[in-house]
Amino acid sequence: NAGVTQTPKFQVLKTGQSMTLQCAQDMNHNSMYWYRQDPGMGLRLIYYSASEGTTDKGEVPNGYNVSRLNKREFSLRLESAAPSQTSVYFCASTLVPRGATGNTIYFGEGSWLTVV
Amino acid sequence: RKEVEQDPGPFNVPEGATVAFNCTYSNSASQSFFWYRQDCRKEPKLLMSVYSSGNEDGRFTAQLNRASQYISLLIRDSKLSDSATYLCVVRTTGNQFYFGTGTSLTVIP
């Protein structure tokens, strides 16, 4: 019963390096999200994908790109890492049945990224 | 103005105490409401959904006031294991979720 799985769990990058955070869910959810969480700022949406084949910017998309590879997988890429991108990153997913309300969002365990 | 605002605390309460958290949201078109719990260095996990009629799950009671755009969480008979950060979460149209910054609770023996 994996739910939402994201890798890596910990990563240290040098400024200017690139990396991709991987996320996969096995709950047949159609919407997926990437958030970052910083002290005192709460969870902020970076990008989301309402369904396979679509992606949209969230509140803080600068410096990131995403790929919705298929229904299960949604990756987040940092092309040129900066110290300001030091954060905890959470992938999440939810099911959106037609006409439904009250569906909840499920999170991966988080990826701790430090950019030095 | 933030979509969701909540008192960050911290709340430090003795075991057995009753504690209440409040939250306000700005989008009157918001559709669903939740309380999530987040332990240190862990992911947020659903504590309970919140309904206009109010709902209870054991020692936890949640209330929603749509007219005032206000959500509350009441924890009775606090346990040491209740120590965590509690996030107020609102889902709006377009299936967007907005999170409060969280209220920190420490239950003291």
Q: Using one digit for the tens of pLDDT, what is the confidence trace for B38-58?
A: 999 999 999 999 988 889 999
Residues of B in contact with A96 (CB under 8 A): 95
Buried/exposed code over A45-58 (b: 16+ C-beta within 10 A; e: otherwise): bbbbbbeeeebeeb
Contact (Cβ atoms closer than 8 angstroms) between residue A20 and residue A77: yes
Are B97 and A94 within 8 A, CB to CB?
Answer: yes
Are B46 and A104 within 8 A, CB to CB?
Answer: yes
Q: For residue A40, what pLDDT band results from cuts at 50, 70 and 90?
A: confident
Alpha-carbon gap, residue B7 to A17, rounded angstroms: 38
Q: What mean pLDDT comes out for the span A92-107? A: 77
Q: What mean pLDDT comes out for the span B50-74? A: 94
Sorted by sequence, the CB contacts under 8 Å of residue B30 that are 6+ apart come out as B69, B90, B91, B92
CA distance B45 to chain A (A): 7
In chain B, % of residues over pLDDT 70: 100
Q: Looking at residue B7, what is its pLDDT?
A: 87
Q: In what order do the strands lie in the sheet with A4-7?
A: A4-7, A19-25, A74-78, A64-68
Whose structure tokens read 């040129």?
A80
In chain A, % of residues over pLDDT 70: 94
Are A102 and B43 within 8 A, CB to CB?
Answer: no
Q: Looking at residue A97, what is its pLDDT?
A: 64
Are A42 and B45 within 8 A, CB to CB?
Answer: no
- pLDDT of residue A98 exceeding 80: no
Are A102 and B32 within 8 A, CB to CB?
Answer: yes
Torsion of CA A10, B96, B34, A43, to 10 degrees: 30
Contact (Cβ atoms closer than 8 angstroms) between residue B102 and residue B54: no
Residues comprising chain B, all counted: 109
Return the residue in A59, A104, A113 with the most chain B beta carbons within 10 A, the one to mutate for interface testing. Answer: A104
Q: For residue B102, what pLDDT band results from cuts at 50, 70 and 90?
A: very high
3-state DSSP assignment of residue B72 = strand
- pLDDT of residue A77 exceeding 90: yes
Alpha-carbon gap, residue B60 to B86, rounded angstroms: 12
Question: Which DSSP state fits A15?
Answer: T
Half-sphere exposure of A2 (CA within 13 A, CB side): 11
